Amino acid sequence: MASKYIALPKGVSETVFDTAISRFREILGDTAVLTNAEQLAPYIKTMMPVPDADHAPSAALLATTVEQIQKIVAICNQYKVPIWTISTGKNFGYGSAAPVERGQVVLDLKRMNRILEVDKDLAYALVEPGVTYQQLYDYIDEHQLGLWLSVPAPSAIAGPVGNTLDRGVGYTPYGEHFLFACGMEVVLANGEVLRTGMGSMPNSNTWQVFKWGYGPYLDGIFTQSNYGIVTKFGFWLMPAPPAYKPFVIQYEHEEDIVEIVETIRPLRISGVIPNAIVIAHALYEAPVKARRSDYVSGPGAIPDEAVRKISKDHKLGIWNVYAALYGTQEQIDVNWQIVTQAFKQSGKAKILTEQEMGDDPAFNYRAKLMRGDMTLTEFSLYNWRGGGGSMWFAPVSQARGSETLKQMALTKQILAKYGLDYSGEFIVGMRDMHHIVDVLYDKTDPAQTQAAYQCFDELLTVFSAQGYGTYRVNTAFMDKVAETYGPVQRKIHKTLKDALDPNGILAPGKSGIR
Amino acid sequence: MNMAKWGKNLFILISTAIFVNGHAWSAPPDTSPQGFAWKDSAEIYAKICAYCHEAQVAPPIRNRSLPPEYIRAVVRNGNRAMPAFRASVIDDESLAKLADFVSKSETGY
Ligand SMILES: Cc1cc2nc3c(=O)[nH]c(=O)nc-3n(C[C@H](O)[C@H](O)[C@H](O)COP(=O)(O)OP(=O)(O)OC[C@H]3O[C@@H](n4cnc5c(N)ncnc54)[C@H](O)[C@@H]3O)c2cc1C
């Protein structure tokens, strides 16, 4: 007899699952427990090159309170039902809203979405998991709080809790999001509720202002992990500066990345340029302005000549360095002097500001991102190939020119082997760079989908063999990346898992941990 | 000071403290037990759809008399690079109204 479910959790019979579902319904009500195919359709679509069925959930639970979540974990423990928690559920290119393993129940916290506090003077927020950046942006605007967010490129529809828990990035001076996280509330697998750091102490009013608390710092173990369900999350906001000056510096050759990075690093480490600068390749920017099919047809990666032609036609550099200055006008004037002097030295850089680039769509959306505004323009990337396939390849690099050139060349060479283009950028930390490459492919084309899978696999193999680790990965490759970090770390992760979640009910498989 | 008067003064003191707290230190916390809810279709359109469909990222969808059922299906299932939107993001009732709004829309939003 056909099952009434579209999938079942691993090792759980339909009869046992029936019981678990009816218990979930007692807690949440019928309308907040989704099991039919139509209701679950939006949880199934991913951009990964594997059958969506491999990541189909068995059900979704729409919880809104801590008490409900405590009761849910009790049922999960009783019936050994695994749950996959999402907050705003927009983890595109990393697995979207689908679970890491087929049959897991999605715990969808989108409707748990109160903004609990925004403190104007201390410049922090405390929010529930379902709060989107747009919701917070509107709240700050409505209450005239004079604070800026730092957002990832899907800004409006994503949210600070899920993004930061996956250690995501934005583009303001607060761009390395987890650095600015301060205090979490976590429901543990045994139903206990932990408040991290200063939040552990009754009556404390320093939960959102001091990160470390007392004793071992715990917040880190709840990021990219499956040790708990985060139900409240504190983080710092940037006071809106009196003046803001976004700019782009264009270079004409791929090898120029060496000069770019060597020039930027001292400016970034010393804080002259304070934000998470992006060094974007022409092919990352081109989709905002051009169509691939206007320049190339047939199989194979786009040739360098075509890329040069695109950048000429559309006023792009082969590298485009987006950065900004923040502060009073006087501070900006002084720093602008330092920046322009540094970049003018070799005569290769073209320095452009809002004055020259005001109407340019690529510049405009970057300028928005560097001040934490809402935009989804970066989704243009998906018009490049069409077909909706995407995986982020995200190795970490030193902020050293020779290293970035080496990583770029290696990535490009492996992509080309599979007929795929290098749509890459480097997001500049102080000493590191997130090398972010959108592995774009047409998911409606089975051959290209298979090539994309093999290509990604090879990228991970080759990079890890050279000592380059990836900072984050989609759910189809989590075990593979966990392997690359070696057996000792894996064992520690497992030891923690066994201690905190002995029945393995929380997202087994996340980051390769079960 | 008799107790009643003292109680009244205390009340004034506390409410002043709340007032000062609310305005000088922080914005009043959102205490609505429901959390966020969409105001209307125009808001959903502006804060989700328009970022792509009015920004040359995705094709225009307004003024094309697209059937509401089609719009609802694409929102729930996604379409190639267009993400799928869950009922927890846009509830069924709001989606029905949004589909009509997009389908029938004429000018501005
Ligand atoms: C065009 C494009 C550009 C992008 N640019 C960026 C970018 O600039 N920076 C960036 O970081 N990402 C980027 N992304 C990737 C991704 O879309 C964002 O990171 C997005 O913020 C993640 O989705 P979310 O915020 O809805 O988090 P969610 O999907 O809700 O959560 C992410 C993950 O965190 C875990 N998690 C979530 N909630 C909880 C919880 N309450 N308790 C425990 N664990 C939890 C889960 O494992 C979940 O899968 C981009 C994607 C696209 C398509």
Q: How far apart are the CA of B13 and the nearest CA of chain A, in angstroms?
A: 21
CA distance A398 to A313: 33
Mean pLDDT of A385-409: 97
Task: Assess contact for A389 and A166: CB atoms under 8 A.
Answer: no
Q: What percent of chain A has pLDDT over 90?
A: 99
Instruction: Tell me the per-residue pLDDT of A41-53, one tens digit each, with 9 for 90 and over.
Output: 999 999 999 999 9
| E runs forming strands in chain B | none
Q: Residue A1's pLDDT band (boundaries 50, 70, 90)?
A: low
For residue A114, give the nearest of B30, B78, B89 by CB distance: B30
Mutual orientation of helices A37-44 and B68-77 as an angle, nearest 10°?
60
Residues listed for chain A: 514
- Is the Cβ–Cβ distance between A374 and A151 less than 8 Å? yes
Say yes or no for a CB contact (<8 Å) between A97 and B86.
yes
> Which residues in chain A are contacts of B25 at CB distance < 8 A?
119-121
A110 contacts B57? CB cut-off 8 A: no
B48, B90 Cβ separation under 8 angstroms: yes
Confidence at residue B1, expressed as pLDDT on a 0 to 100 scale: 40
Q: What is the pLDDT of residues A419-444, one digit of tens each?
A: 999 999 999 999 999 999 999 999 99
User: Which residue in chain A is spatially nearest to B79 when comparing CA positions?
Assistant: A388
Name the residues of B annotated as catalytic. Answer: 81-82
B97–A contact, CB cutoff 8 A: no
- Give residue A408's pLDDT: 98
> Please, which residues bridge with residue A187 across strands?
A193, A229
In order of A175, A267, A286, B108, the CA distances from A324 in angstroms are 12, 12, 21, 34
Q: Which residues line ligand 1 (CB under 6 A)?
A: A 85-94, 109, 129, 152-154, 158-159, 161-163, 165-166, 168-169, 229-230, 378-379, 381, 510
| pLDDT > 70 in chain A, percent | 100
Active-site residue list of A: 94, 471-472
> Is B104 in CB contact (< 8 Å) with chain A?
no
- pLDDT confidence of residue A263: 98
Give the nearest partner residue to B55 out of A34, A110, A377, using CB atoms. A377
Contact B82 A128 (CB under 8 A): no
The model's pTM: 0.94
pLDDT digits (tens, 9 = 90+) for A108-148: 999 999 999 999 999 999 999 999 999 999 999 999 999 99
Mutate to test the pocket of ligand 1, among A87, A128, A225 (most ligand atoms within 8 A of CB): A87
Q: Within its chain, how far is the Cα of A218 from the centroid?
A: 21
Cβ-based contacts of B29 with chain A (< 8 Å): 115-117
d(CA A416, CA A243): 43
Give the burial string for B25-47 (b: 16+ CB within 10 Å, else e): ebbeebeeeebbebeebeebbeb
Q: For domain A14-111, which architecture applies?
A: 2-Layer Sandwich (3.30)
pLDDT tens across B16-53, in order?
A: 343 333 333 344 444 544 589 999 999 999 999 999 99
Q: What's the average model confidence in pLDDT over A60-89?
A: 98
Whether A111 sits inside 8 A of B35 (CB atoms) is: yes
Residue of A nearest to B21 (CA): A119
The span from the CA of A155 to the CA of B51, in Å, is 10
Q: For residues A39, A43, A162 and A504, what is the CA-based torsion angle, rounded to 10 degrees?
A: 100
Summarised one tens digit per residue, pLDDT across range B60-70 is 999 899 999 99
Cβ pairs bridging A and B (under 8 Å): 119
Nearest to A86, CA basis, from A98, A74, A76, A75: A98
Q: What CATH number belongs to B41-103?
A: 1.10.760.10
How many H helices and E strands in chain B?
A: 5, 0
Question: HSE (CB half, 13 Å, CA atoms) of A17?
Answer: 23
- Name which of A40, A291, A376 to mutate to probe chain B: the one with the most chain B Cβ atoms within 10 A of its Cβ: A376
Q: Using one digit for the tens of pLDDT, what is the confidence trace for A309-333?
A: 999 999 999 999 999 999 999 999 9
Query: At residue A35, what is the residue type?
Result: T
Residue B106 confidence (pLDDT): 66
- As a whole number of angstroms, the distance between CA A208 and CA B35 comes to 21
B47 and chain A in contact, CB less than 8 A: yes
B108 and chain A in contact, CB less than 8 A? no
Tell me how far CA of residue B35 lies from CA of A161, A179, B43, in angstroms.
Answer: 16, 27, 16
Indicate if the pLDDT at residue B15 is higher than 80.
no
Q: Could you give the 3-state DSSP secondary structure of residue A199?
A: helix
Average pLDDT over residues A368-379: 98
Whether pLDDT at B5 is above 60: no
Q: Which pLDDT score, from 0 to 100, does residue B24 have?
A: 36
Lowest mean pLDDT among A151-155, A296-300, A368-372, A404-408: A296-300
Say whether residue B23 is in contact with chain A using an 8 A CB cutoff.
Answer: no
Contact flag B57-A376 (C-beta cutoff 8 Å): yes
Provide the shortest C-alpha distance from residue B5 to chain A (in Å). 30
For residues B77-104, average pLDDT: 96
Residue B9: pLDDT above 50? Answer: no
Residue among A192, A137, A198, A127 nearest A164 (CA):
A127
Residue B3 has pLDDT above 70, yes or no: no
pLDDT at A413 over 90: yes
- Condensed to tens digits (0 to 9), the pLDDT of residues A179-206 reads 999 999 999 999 999 999 999 999 999 9
Alpha-carbon span A168 to A181, nearest angstrom: 12
Residues facing residue A278 across a β-bridge: A322, A427
Which residues in B lie closer than 8 A to residue A380 (C-beta atoms)? 56-57
Q: Compute the average pLDDT of residues A227-232.
A: 98
Provide the CATH number for the domain formed by A115-239 in this structure.
3.30.465.10
> What length is written for chain B?
109
CA–centroid distance, residue A475 to ligand 1 (Å)? 12
Q: Read out DSSP for A13-81?
A: -HHHHHHHHHHHHHHH-GGGEE-SHHHHHHHH---SSS-GGGG--SEEEE--SHHHHHHHHHHHHHHT-
pLDDT per position as a tens digit, A455-469: 999 999 999 999 999
- What A23-30 contacts at long range (C-beta under 8 Å, 24+ apart), as own/partner pairs, is A23/A75, A23/A79, A24/A59, A24/A61, A24/A72, A24/A75, A27/A68, A27/A71, A27/A72, A27/A75, A28/A61, A28/A62, A28/A63, A28/A68, A28/A72
A45/B83 Cβ within 8 A: yes
Which tokens in the block code for residue A112?
């748990």
Task: Show Cβ contacts of residue A217 under 8 Å, excluding neighbours closer than 6 positions.
Answer: A197, A211
Closest CA to A257 of A125, A58, A412: A412
CB distance A96–B58 less than 8 Å?
no
Domain boundaries of chain B, sorted by first residue? 41-103
Q: State residue A498's pLDDT score.
A: 98
| pLDDT of res. B109 | 53
Nearest chain A residue to B35 by CA: give it.
A114
Return mean pLDDT, chain A: 97
Amino acid occupying residue A232 = K
Contacts of B86 in chain A (CB under 8 A): 42-43, 60, 89, 97, 108, 110
* Other CB atoms within 10 A of residue A432 CB: 16
Name every chain A residue with its beta carbon within 8 A of the beta carbon of B79. 388
Residue A2: per-residue pLDDT: 81
Contact criterion met (CB < 8 Å) for A119 and B81: no
Instruction: Please give the CATH architecture assigned to the domain spanning A243-473.
Output: 3-Layer(aba) Sandwich (3.40)
